[in-house]
Chains A and B, each alone.
Chain A
Amino acid sequence: MPTNRNNNHFLHLDKPLLLSLVLLSSLGLVVLYSASSQNFDLIMRQIMRILAGFVIMLGLAQINVQKIIRWVPWLYLIGIVLLVLVLIIGESSKGSQRWINLGLFRFQPSELMKLALPLMVAWYIAHKPVPPSYGRLFLALIIIVIPVFLVAKEPDLGTSLLIASSGLFVLLLSGMSWRLISGFFITSISCLPVLWYFMHDYQRRRVLTLLNPETDPLGAGYHIIQSKIAIGSGGFYGKGWLNGTQSQLQFLPERTTDFVFAVYSEEFGLLGILVLLCIYFFVLTRGMYIAMRAQDTFARLLAGSLILTFFVYIFVNIGMVIGLLPVVGLPLPLISYGGTSIVTLMAGFGLIMAVHTHRRLLEH
């Protein structure tokens, strides 16, 4: 690849994005150290993952998006095949079947789909001028529904929600008319009572517990009650690093994974949260800026969708921990302990960077 004089980087990188991601994951390690009760092994494992994530991100950032575009449908198809396979021969753990064993390592096809779906929908929409016609919107919806259904069947509702939103964001950004969007929205909401009518009693009960966990204080509601105590007792300044009693005394469940935000809030207070949210907001704004500046439809749809999906992560996780949203198992991006999602997230940012740093090459 010829070096580009207009680009100031030796590597194709977006410095502001890179720096803020490094900042976020370092902050994450600090919180995890406390949340895991100073467990060094856990920190080391997380560091290895983050490093792997950064390597993949930097690797992907070097790719010219225009060159990979023709591989997109194949990637999507492979993703679908793997999702079907996982339902047939997948390995289950904790009651759901998400993993596929490739001999050397285990792997979650739904993670692949987190990237493959926005790529595919963006590829499909970018074929014709935007805004897309009704027919193309309909086909795009089918492209979205298939993997979402397969992932939901594993069952992994959190991930299928993410995948669905990554696909829908592409459509939203592509200029789908507001009337259609609101129509869609209203239709789905008005379908809910119909669905409710057809549900069994026990299913209704589950939905109710999901919507209002505090009616089930010994199950899901236990998490929320403990988490609210942790956050509320943190106050404005927080109790200080390693001083959160809720988390240190292990009242808080899932401290290192889904509920890590509660630990952070307890120890760093509202002040710390504002700092964290600012970093997130910076990442989001930068990502959207990159999407705006992208020079072809495919690239901007992709970048836009990826960055908005990143926000869904943040909002759903925090919303759950502070008791605004039902308990859906999604990690807090770049902070929560946990394997594959970090790598996928970083790969997403790699794609966003690729969109940005290669844009001038198009002009040749």
Chain B
Amino acid sequence: MSSTRLLLKDTVLENKIFGNRILVAWLMILVLLFVIIVRLFFLQVIYHERYTTLSKSNHIKILPLRPTRGLIYDRNAVLLAENRISYSLEVTPEKIKNIDELLNNLSQIIAIDETDIAHFKKQLRQVRSFKTIPLRHRLTEDEVGRFAAHRNSFPSVEVKQNQSRYYPLGKTGVHIIGYVGRINEKELERIDKSDYMGSDYIGKTGLENFYEKELHGKTGFQQVEKNVQGRVIRTLESIPFVPGKDIYLNIDIVFQKYVEELVAKHSAAVVAIDPKTGGVLALVSMPYYDPNLFVRGIDVKTYHSLRDSPARPLINRAIRGQYPPGSTIKAFVGLAGLEYGIRSTRSRTWCRGWYSLKGQKHRYRDWKKTGHGSMNLHTALEQSCDVYFYSLAYDLGIDRLHTFMKRFGFGEKTGIDISGEMSGLMPSREWKQSRRGKRWFPGETIITGIGQGFMLATPLQLAVATATLSNRGVFKQPRVVFAMDDGRQNEMTVVKPTVKTTIVLKYNTYWDAAIGGMKAVVHGRRGTAKKVGRNSPYRFAGKTGTAQVITIKQSESYNASKLAKKYHDHALFVAFAPLNNPRIALSVIVENGGGGSKTAAPIAKKAMDFYLLRKSRLRLAKKKVTTPP
């Protein structure tokens, strides 16, 4: 039993310690009780008057102050997204006597449909009774007038002025800017509810979604006193809202619109990047749609027709479209051959129109049936010889090819500041084993060498990789936003271009070889796109590509006229210009457009001409620009 042990303890010391501790605790309690009393003295005696007033007319309400959403401008301060005033019909629940009667009477004056009512009733259950709930958005002027005439019969209803998003250029740039829409239930779970107390809209796609936090701003609050009728008598305290930041894009909207018109007849995507900064100059996905439809709340029929249209206008092909890149990647494969020492710039491969592995019958065909003859890297790029790259890819093996291509961003998201980017696919042994459950076959390496087979890339990835090539390895993260302006100081904050990585090759001359080959594509005597390079006032580099949509059997040949349009090859072209001081790198893909040189290259050339040759339209942004320290 412990009592015997207890007696052995030093009871005197223990008593002293314990007494001491209890005393300290007791004094502590006294101090804390005193703190409470002091605080209460302040509340109940010193500020008594103030709180009495508040309680007497206790109709203290807290109203959210909706922040104004940041505007979106292009690089020349052309307005792309703005806020317009609109009117909505709002109801205060605590003043409703009979909901059905009210809705019935209201609908005699103003058109209210089923979805409005359903939405309204749902909110009615969720929101505190003194907060008004919107019943109808975007009243016409006519309706506002009609309601004003009948106002006295509806004490619980009021017309409120709102700001709603408007995209003045309509379809132009929709795949960049995106749109806002009503907050849905899923989003409601994700967002900070008190911060969206006054907001009905949230960014759904594009920049509006990616920069939601910056554009939205911070909701303010107002503590107001209301009389019995619920009219605000005075404001007691208020925390002002913080407006959303305005954002300025790298996009030149005039250029964007020009490129959109170039590809208007096709299903196509074009991405143009400034290689120096990674700034996205234009990002086109065709067909497109009017974002204003979505802000208003699109009707089901229109929505379905957009969603189900075979041309898929809602899909942002530039960042979500994953295509076999075809021959556009040959320059990168060529670089891999040099870097790993598999080929020198002078190594030659004989092209007889097809390639096959030893002991195998299967023929990997060159696009030129008769063959190109003796090829080195330069001529293989110029003429886009498939056999050279078949043989090179085979010698490299998929592992090295995979590693090298990854360095240029293939198979990975570029991290562009638009929501919804896809990562493409750079196949590897491990990928095939884990995804397909099969081992890798050498034949698959061979077709990967010309950008066919499993490999997929987005137009954005192709543009970024081309920009990196033109920069001789300096990999700039693509950025749509150029600067942000929080309106506080008389200057805006520039989003610094970030270098993702710098690819260093064994010899700098390798870059010259690859770029030289691409220059020959457009300026060489036998270049696959020599037509677009002819008489060009500036020199540039490019690479054509044609991506097969369906596999042609060994015994057949490709004949466009026999195939339905949707099985036609995709036409691709990547390019950068001017050759020695690149200011623009771009990728063009035209779905089912046939050959790259025929369809895609002229589009790219026109776009570059427009960008490089027109008189400088750059106006200075309206505010002084600073770079963050």
Q: Mark A127-169, 1 if CB is under 8 A from B, else 0.
A: 1011100000000000000000000000000000000000001
Choose the segment among B53-61, B104-112, B330-338, B542-550 that binds chain A (4+ C-beta atoms closer than 8 Å): B53-61
Contact A229 B22 (CB under 8 A): no
* CB neighbors of A among B45-100 (8 A): 45, 47-48, 50-52, 54-56, 58, 60, 62, 64
A284, B29: Cβ atoms closer than 8 Å: yes
Identify which of A10-18, A24-32, A85-93, A296-304 touches chain B. A296-304
- B26: Cβ under 8 A from any A Cβ: yes
| Interface 9-residue window, one of B33-41, B435-443, B565-573, B607-615 | B33-41
Chain A residues near B55 (CB-CB < 8 A): 229-230, 232-233, 245-246
- CB pair A304–B35 under 8 Å, yes or no, is no
CA distance A217 to B47 in the complex (A): 20
Contact of A232 with B21 at beta-carbon distance under 8 Å, contacts A297-B14, A324-B35 already known: no
Stretch at the interface among B2-10, B274-282, B313-321, B520-528: B2-10
Asked if A232 contacts B223 (CB within 8 A), the reply is: no
Does B221 have its Cβ within 8 Å of any Cβ on chain A? yes
Q: What are the residues of chain A within 8 A of B9 when measuring CB–CB?
A: 129-130, 297
Could you say which residues of chain A place their CB within 8 Å of the CB of B37? 273-274, 277
Q: Which residue of the partner chain, among A205, A234, A277, contacts B192 with CB atoms under 8 Å?
A: A205
Interface size class, chain B: 35 or more
* Complex Cα gap A347–B596 (Å): 86
**B18 CB-CB contact with A under 8 Å:** yes
Among B32, B55, B58, chain A packs the most CB atoms within 10 A around the CB of B55
Of the candidates B43, B60, B239, the one whose C-beta lies within 8 Å of that of A231 is B43
Any chain B CB within 8 A of the CB of A343? no
Q: Are A233 and B51 in contact (CB under 8 A)?
A: yes
Q: How far is the CB of B222 from chain A (nearest CB, A)?
A: 9
Chain B residues near A284 (CB, 8 Å)? 26, 29
Residues of A within 8 A of B22 (CB): 173, 288, 291-292, 304
Is B194 part of the contact surface with A, judged by Cβ < 8 Å? yes
Measured in the bound complex, the distance between the Cα atoms of B221 and A259 in whole Å is 24
A222–B17 Cα distance when bound, in Å, is 46
Task: For chain B, residues 240 to 294, give those with C-beta under 8 angstroms from any C-beta of chain A.
Answer: none
Task: Determine if A322 and B58 form an interchain contact, defined as CB atoms under 8 angstroms apart.
Answer: no
For the complex, is A311 an interface residue (Cβ under 8 Å from B)?
Answer: yes
User: In the complex, what distance in Å separates the CA atom of A217 from the CA atom of B237?
Assistant: 11
Shortest Cβ distance from residue B3 to the other chain A in the assembled complex, whole angstroms: 7
Does the CB pair A173–B21 fall under 8 Å?
yes
A261 to chain B, nearest CB (A): 10
Give, as a whole number of angstroms, the nearest-CB distance from B59 to chain A. 9
CB-CB contacts below 8 Å: A230-251 with B: 230-236, 245-246, 249, 251
Q: How many residue-residue contacts, CB under 8 A, span A and B?
A: 141
Q: How far is the CB of B536 from chain A (nearest CB, A)?
A: 50
Contact A265 B35 (CB under 8 A): no
Instruction: Say yes or no for A315: interface residue by CB 8 A criterion.
Output: yes
Task: Tell whether, in the assembled complex, residue B44 and residue A218 are in contact, meaning their CB atoms are under 8 Å apart.
Answer: no
Residue of A nearest to B42 (CB): A232
B342 within 8 A of A: no
CA of A129 to CA of B5, assembled, Å: 9
Contacts of A183 in B (CB 8 A): none
Contact across chains for B17 and A175 when beta carbons are under 8 A apart: yes
- The B interface, classified by DSSP as helix, strand, loop or mixed, is helix
A170 to B223 Cα, complex, angstroms: 46
Residues of A within 8 A of B17 (CB): 130-131, 174-175
Contact of A218 among B25, B39, B194 (CB under 8 A): B194
What per-residue 1/0 map shows which CB atoms of A257-294 lie under 8 Å from chain B? 00000000100011001100100110011001001100
State whether the Cβ of A60 lies closer than 8 Å to any Cβ in chain B: no
Q: Is A308 an interface residue (CB 8 A)?
A: yes
| CB-based contact B43/A232 at 8 Å | yes
SS of A interface (majority): helix
CA distance A129 to B26 in the complex (A): 24
Given A232-B52, A245-B55, verify A69-B2 contact (CB < 8 Å): yes
Least CB distance, B9 to chain A, in whole angstroms: 5
B19 interface hit (Cβ, 8 Å): yes
A225-B60 in contact (CB<8A): yes
- If A218-B197, A231-B51 touch, whether A251 touches B36 (CB-CB below 8 Å) is no
Q: Which residues of B contact A234 (CB under 8 A)?
A: 44
Q: How far is the CA of A205 from the CA of B6 in the complex (A)?
A: 51
Instruction: Tell me, rounded to whole Å, the shortest Cβ–Cβ distance linking A278 to chain B.
Output: 10
Among B2, B14, B44, B194, find the residue whose CB has the most chain A CB atoms closer than 10 A.
Answer: B44
Say if the beta carbon of B128 comes within 8 Å of chain A.
yes
The reply to whether the CB of A172 lies closer than 8 angstroms to some CB of chain B is yes
- The reply to whether A217 and B43 form a contact with Cβ atoms under 8 Å apart is no
Measured CB to CB, the nearest residue on chain A to B39 is: A322
The one of A202, A218, A292, A319 that contacts B64, using a Cβ cutoff of 8 Å = A218
Q: Are A228 and B43 in contact (CB under 8 A)?
A: yes
- Chain A residues within an 8 Å CB radius of B62: 217-218, 222, 225
- A308 x B128 contact (CB < 8 A): no
B513 CB → nearest A CB, Å: 48
Residue of B nearest to A289 (CB): B22
A339 within 8 Å of B (CB atoms): no
Given known A229-B55, A231-B44, contact A175–B3 (CB-CB < 8 A): no
In the complex, the answer to whether B44 meets A270 with C-beta atoms within 8 Å is yes
A265 and B44 contacting across the interface, CB-CB below 8 Å: yes
Task: Indicate if the CB atoms of B36 and A322 lie closer than 8 Å.
Answer: yes
Known: A229-B54, A249-B58, A315-B36. A173 touches B43 (CB 8 A): no
Q: Which residue of A lies closest to B54 (CB)?
A: A229
Q: Which of B452-489 contact A (CB under 8 A)?
A: none
Return the chain A residue nearest B32 by Cβ. Answer: A315
A246-B128 contact given A225-B223, A292-B19, A296-B3, CB 8 Å threshold: no
Q: Which of A175, A215, A362 has the most CB atoms of chain B within a 10 A radius of its CB? A: A175
Q: Which of A8-55 contact B (CB under 8 A)?
A: none
A235–B2 Cα distance when bound, in Å, is 55
Q: Contact at A126–B2, with CB atoms within 8 Å?
A: yes
- Inter-chain CA distance A251–B242, complex, in Å, is 30
Which residues on the B side are within 8 Å of A231 (C-beta)?
40, 43-44, 51
With A277-B36, A308-B25 known to touch, is A175 a contact of B18 (CB < 8 Å)?
Answer: yes
Chain A residues, Cβ within 8 Å of B21? 172-173, 175, 304
Q: Mark A168-190, 1 if CB is under 8 A from B, else 0.
A: 01001111000000000000000
What residues of chain B lie closer than 8 Å to A3, measured between beta carbons? none
| Residue of A whose beta carbon sits closest to that of B44 | A270
A269 to B10, CA, bound (A): 50
Q: How distant is the Cα of A147 from the Cα of B366 in the complex, in angstroms? A: 73
Min CB distance A184 to B, Å, is 15
B25 and A297: CB pair below 8 A? no
**A175-B21, A218-B62, A222-B62 are known contacts. Are A232 and B194 too (CB-CB below 8 A)?**
no
B324 shortest CB reach to chain A, Å = 39
Q: Which residues of B contact A270 (CB under 8 A)?
A: 40-41, 44-45
Contact pick for A233, options B18, B52, B64, B192, CB 8 Å: B52
Q: Mark A84-123, 1 if CB is under 8 A from B, else 0.
A: 0000000000000000000000000000000000000000
Extra contacts, 12 of them, besides A174-B17, A218-B128, A288-B25 (Cβ < 8 A), are A129-B10, A169-B25, A219-B194, A225-B62, A228-B51, A229-B60, A232-B44, A232-B51, A270-B44, A281-B29, A284-B26, A311-B29
8 A-B pairs within 8 Å (CB atoms) are namely A126-B2, A130-B14, A218-B197, A231-B40, A231-B51, A245-B55, A296-B6, A298-B2
Q: Which residues of B contact A (CB under 8 A)?
A: 2-3, 5-6, 9-10, 14, 17-19, 21-22, 25-26, 29, 32-33, 35-37, 39-41, 43-45, 47-48, 50-52, 54-56, 58, 60, 62, 64, 128, 192, 194, 197, 221, 223, 239
Q: A residues near B, CB below 8 A?
A: 66, 69, 126-127, 129-131, 169, 172-175, 202, 205, 215-219, 222, 225-226, 228-236, 245-246, 249, 251, 265, 269-270, 273-274, 277, 280-281, 284-285, 288, 291-292, 296-298, 300, 304, 308, 311, 315, 318-319, 322-324, 362
Q: Give the 10 A-B CB pairs with smallest separation, nearest first.
A: A232-B51, A233-B55, A175-B17, A232-B43, A233-B51, A217-B62, A129-B9, A270-B44, A235-B48, A233-B52
